Amino acid sequence: MRLGAAKNTLRIQSCVNDATRKNDLVVTSVVYAPNAKPTVVERECSQKWSQACFHYSSAIKVNPQWATLTCPPEAAATAWRLDAEAVPAFQKQHKGDRWLDEVKSNPNKVDCDKDEYPPAYLLGLQDPARLNSGKNAQGQLIRLIPGGMNRGAGHMWKGICLGAAIEDMKDSEFKAKVDADPNRKTIIQGGVTRTQAAITATVRPEFTINKWGNAANPPANDGLELNTCWPNNIAAGDPGFALLTFDPYYNTHPRLYNYSIPYVKGSNGS
């Protein structure tokens, strides 16, 4: 049977002298073969993550190439996460006193996260969306949204670059590939023999959102006015508070306040 969130562990059990032996074959990473077949992994962006979905759909509208994201080689492992620069850029652009403190103490009692798209997990080291992250609108875009929506939506792509590459692999092939790795490591712990290996995959996952819930027909300004992480008591008239200052939203809307300097009622804030 397959175990783990990415189903990257094949457990083989046998009975020896009336005792059960457990052997776990664990694929810790895969290498996409040069001729690996592109395999589309489709996910639904649920209405319960509305702000995340509005964010992703609006980001794709201005950067259509983000509609389908090919798994980078780096992501085909059990542990891969290299943050880009969009989140630090947002923090710097909103460093003025009170702005983000107001978000933390908002009356909606919502914890807010900086949601990035495309996700860092799906960006290789040389991906333009990573190289331009925090610099311009060709890099990752950010929306400050309720944390539950951010974390929920993140499960759409969690582990797919490893899991989707091996999910259709027969157990016999899985075992043969693990056994063939000359650098495999075997450890015995808690009565379980674990063999860890890197293998070659003949498919390469591509992530896309094929169902959008209510984001298929988003409200005005892609739902920015509905965002409970917008502190409209001190940033009235500018739901773009939740975005980076170079977000395309500001191509058609004025920037009313400077969030990098302190809030001052009347002169820099409402």
Average pLDDT, 10 consecutive residues per value, the chain (270 residues): 92 81 95 97 97 98 98 91 95 98 80 97 97 99 98 97 96 96 94 95 98 86 96 97 98 98 98
Q: Do β-strands 2-3 and 141-146 pair in parallel, antiparallel, or remain unpaired?
A: unpaired
Dist CA 169 CA 148 (whole Å):
33
Is 269 domain-assigned? no
- Report residue 27 as tokens: 């694929």
Is 257 domain-assigned? no
> Which DSSP string corresponds to the chain?
-EESTT--EEEEEEEETTEEEEEEEEEEEEEEEEEEEEEEEEEE--GGGHHHHHHHHHHHHH-GGGGEEEPPGGGSBSS-----SHHHHHHHHT-STTHHHHHHT-TT---EEEEEES-GGG--TT-HHHHTTTTSTTS-EEEEEEHHHHHHHHTTTTTHHHHHHHTTS-HHHHHHHHHH-TT-EEEEETTEEEEEEEEEEEEEEEEEEEE-GGGGS--GGGGGGG-TTS-TTTSTT-GGGGB-TTSGGGGSS-----TTS--BTTTB--
| Size of the chain, expressed as the number of residues it contains | 270
Distance of CA 78 to the CA centre of its chain: 15
Q: What angle do CA 9, 14, 18 make, to 5 degrees?
A: 140
Is 245 domain-assigned? yes
Q: Do β-strands 19-44 and 9-16 pair in parallel, antiparallel, or remain unpaired?
A: antiparallel
Is 264 domain-assigned? no
Is 32 domain-assigned? yes
Q: Are 84 and 123 in contact (CB under 8 A)?
A: yes
Dist CA 48 CA 91 (whole Å):
26
Q: Are 45 and 213 in contact (CB under 8 A)?
A: yes
- Quick one: pLDDT at residue 109? 65
- Report residue 202 as tokens: 């003949």
Is 91 domain-assigned? yes
Q: Work out how many domains the chain is built from and give that number.
A: 1
Is 262 domain-assigned? no
- Report residue 262 as tokens: 């302190």
Q: What does pTM read for this prediction?
A: 0.93
Dist CA 112 CA 264 (whole Å):
23
Is 256 domain-assigned? no
- Quick one: pLDDT at residue 17? 72
For 179, the domain range is 2-251
Dist CA 227 CA 243 (whole Å):
11
